[in-house]
Amino acid sequence: MPKKYYITTPLYYVNSKPHIGHSYTQIACDTVARFMRRSGADVFFMTGTDEHGEKIEKSTLEAGLKEGEEKKFVDSIVPVFRDLWKTLGIQYDFFIRTTDDYHVKCVQTVLDRLYKDGKIYKKVYKGWFCTPCEAFWAENQAPGGICPDCTRPVDRLDEANYFFRTSEYQQWLVDHIKTHPDFIQPDFRRNEVLGFLKEELLDLCISRPKTRMSWGIEVPFDKDYVTYVWFDALINYISGAGYPHDMERFGKLWPADVHVIGKDILRHHAVYWPIMLRALGLEPPKAIFAHGWWVIKGEKMSKSKGNVVDPVDMVGKFGVDPYRYFLLREVQFGMDGAFSEGALTARYNSELANDLGNLLNRTLTMVEKYFAGEVPKVNQQSTARSPQSEKLKNNTTALAGELEKTIPNFNFTTALSKIWEVINMANKHIEDSKPWILAKENKKEELASLMYSLLEVLRITSILLYPFMPQTARNVWEQLGIDESIDRIKFSDAAEWGRLSSVKVRKSMPLFPRIELPS
């Protein structure tokens, strides 16, 4: 039976259209999910949208709709997210919306159970509240009336609300984090959470009075309140997996293998979510991976600063796969990265056009010139194989094993770097072997061996690149003349040399036409 692999993105808030940060998380998860599928795992990749809360109420009115038309507003935004994921080649298995009936019922079931178990109580809250972050802060947590997360002014609140007894589980969570070193990744994020948990953990406010905010899931035991948007949203990870409406499916999927999130929502996922699960008697997820932010000229992107990068614009200028490649190659996943069109253009021209594109174009051109487009038949034990060819073969077939260690751990930069080492080695092999001289001297066996080696490098690297750049991998595969769809090829096929049979190559347009920079 295939190994289960359940991977999630966070739910994206639909008060505005998606930006580069949303696409970054999606592309990372899609890459890992594609790799796991090709490795034989039974993958369940879930994404979706978070559709309740005060910011949705506000955005609804700003869009010219009336109070009470929030569902109409979110219905108009969700397709924008879906369309972008389709454009970026994101192959998710399930899309959840927090307005879906089964999710609403799940949230109410969870609330009702926790309330009956004495884990939820009502009290008057006096303190700070940050509307943009939908977050409560104690007096000492927001000095000067400024939110510690977004640095915007907070408001004073004095109202009765329902609270979840988070504090009861503080020591359990600390112990769990310390005994499960892979639970929060990267390591420095784990240390951040442990640092936060050194302070007293306050009980979590999980409701809003309808007099202040009505767009939310109604609290089942008090019709005057709706559920706090974050409490609602986190539950998607179990409601989407089948809890409690399809416990057979839930039993197969839970616990999730990894929640992939941005670093700004780490506390919600690494503190409140595992405690919610513990109170329900459910296991926490196996891992939470928090990635960094993309910054422009040293500043975090924001609509107010007008420096938000639109993924649709980038895809229009550079193409889907170059955009995917850049995001995964430019910065170690987990760290912050600087985004610029100049940096993207540089990688496009250097690594995609010059290295990969040039290798494919030169190889197929020579196969057409010297072998009438036919993949040459070679004896794998032939003495015509040079030591350099043997080294290229060994390095190429070793790649699959190396990527099996890096991709599941979200170490995309290392994985791509290793692939490019082989691509560059193949390009150097052409220069060193001088096939044009071999042809001139009629050294057919050596020339055939060289061409076959280059074609095998392209076949194997296309399999390895498939999780990162599926369209590019498909294009290379088709130009090699292979009829079988690369979408059905197993990752293990990349570890075997000599699988390319005698077919006729189908050389097409260059993979990556160079982008000419203004002089």
Q: Where are the domains of the chain?
A: 340-495
One-letter amino acid of 150 = C
CB 107 within 8 A of CB 115: no
Query: What is the per-residue pLDDT for 157?
Result: 82
Which percentage of the chain shows pLDDT scores above 70? 97
Mean per-residue pLDDT, 24-47? 97
CA 211 to chain centre: 38
The confidence score (pLDDT) of residue 382 equals 60
| pLDDT of residue 19 exceeding 60 | yes
Of the ranges 88-97, 136-145, 471-480, 481-490, which one carries the lowest mean pLDDT score?
136-145
97 has pLDDT over 80? yes
The most confident of 124-128, 309-313, 426-430, by mean pLDDT: 426-430
Strand segments (E) across 359-445: none
Q: Could you tell me the two tokens for 275? A: 């405690």
Q: Given phi > 0 = left and psi -120 to 50 = alpha, else beta, which region is 134?
A: left
What CATH class has 340-495? Answer: mainly alpha
Q: Which pLDDT score, from 0 to 100, does residue 303 have?
A: 62
How far is Cα 380 from Cα 155, in angstroms, rounded to an integer? Answer: 74
pTM of the model: 0.95
Encoding tokens for residue 397? Answer: 């077939």
d(CA 119, CA 103): 21
Instruction: Evaluate if residue 37 carries a pLDDT over 80.
Output: yes
DSSP for 324-369, please give it: HHHHHHHS-BTB-EE--HHHHHHHIIIIIIIIIIHHHHHHHHHHHH
Helix (H, G, I), strand (E, B) or coil at 513: coil
The arithmetic mean of pLDDT across residues 424-441, rounded, is: 95
Q: Is the pLDDT of residue 47 over 70?
A: yes
Residues 89, 460: Cα–Cα separation, whole Å: 21
Confidence of residue 125 (pLDDT cuts 50, 70, 90): confident
Give 112's pLDDT tier (boundaries 50, 70, 90).
very high
Question: Letter for the amino acid at 302?
Answer: S
What is the number of helices (H) and of strands (E) in the chain? 20, 15
Rounded average pLDDT over 58-73: 93
Name the helix (H) or strand (E) containing 133.
none
Token representation of residue 490: 């197993």
216 vs 157, which has greater pLDDT? 216
Q: What is the pLDDT of residue 288?
A: 98
